[in-house]
Amino acid sequence: MKALLTCLALAAAALPLAAQTDPEIQAERARIAAARSGADARFAAQEAACYKKFAVSDCVNAAKAQRRELLSDLRRQETSLNDAERKRRADERLRSMEERNSAQKQQDDAAKRAEAVARQREKQEELARRAAERAQSQASAPLRAAKAPKEPRQPQANSRPAREQRVHDSSEALRRSQERQQQAQEHRERIAKRLAEGRKDIKPLPVPP
């Protein structure tokens, strides 16, 4: 019995639990279950043999102790197996998440690069369009200037010739007004003189405004 326990312990220690795959884990669980069934069967056989001996109780107790030791070792192996499987699954989940995150990051980076390229292309196209418009406008400027009607240049209102012209016009208007007033005065005097001489049929002229 002790040799069997030693063999099971050595086999469990030699098995790399952390690196096991699903088939290996299933095989190890099957081995542990078989070892547990075998331990129960051997205990039953030993217990039956104990009842044929004189010291039945001591024999049964020894068989139970061997069985407990074997089952305890099997439980330890099973616990290690469960821990290794949980670690493996956690590692797989972490690796899967990292792969998904990496793939998503690559897609996001590719989308950002494509968007940046599109913006740069639009900017270059806009600059090229504006440059073409400026070149076309500069090329057609002489033609537009040639077709534009030429207007006489108006003298500035505040220039010296304009001021002199306004002064001259005002003096001329004053002179003509004075002449008209002088003529009207002379006409009235002639009319008054004729009236005094008896020519009453002549009607006086209206006073100019």
Can you give the residue range of the structural domain that contains 17?
2-111
Concatenated DSSP letters of the chain: -HHHHHHHHHHHHHS-GGG--HHHHHHHHHHHHHHHHHHHHHHHHHHHHHTTSS-HHHHHHHHHHHHHHHHHHHHHHHHHHHHHHHHHHHHHHHHHHHHHHHHHHHHHHHHHHHHHHHHHHHHHHHHHHHHHHHHHHHHHHHHHHHHSPPPPPPPPTTSHHHHHHHHHHHHHHHHHHHHHHHHHHHHHHHHHHHHHTT-TTSPPPPPP-
- Residue 146 forms part of a structural domain: no
Residue 33 · residue 95 · CB < 8 Å: no
Q: What is the pLDDT of residues 137-182, one digit of tens each?
A: 888 777 777 766 655 555 555 566 777 777 777 788 888 888 888 8
Confidence (pLDDT) at 201:
54
* Alpha carbons 158 and 147: distance in angstroms, whole number: 31
Q: What is the pLDDT of residues 80-95, one digit of tens each?
A: 889 988 998 999 999 9
The residue out of 69, 89, 111 marking a domain boundary is 111
Whether residues 106 and 190 share a domain: the answer is: no
Q: What is the pLDDT of residues 56-74, one digit of tens each?
A: 788 888 888 888 888 988 8
- Residue 150 forms part of a structural domain: no
Arithmetic mean of pLDDT over the chain: 77
* Alpha carbons 145 and 6: distance in angstroms, whole number: 111
Confidence (pLDDT) at 140:
78
Residue 16 has pLDDT above 60, yes or no: no
- Residue 179 forms part of a structural domain: yes
- Residue 143 forms part of a structural domain: no
- Residue 145 forms part of a structural domain: no
Q: Taking Cα atoms as reference points, which of 205, 176, 200, 169 lies closest to residue 188?
A: 205
The residue out of 111, 137, 155 marking a domain boundary is 111
The residue out of 111, 127, 156 marking a domain boundary is 111
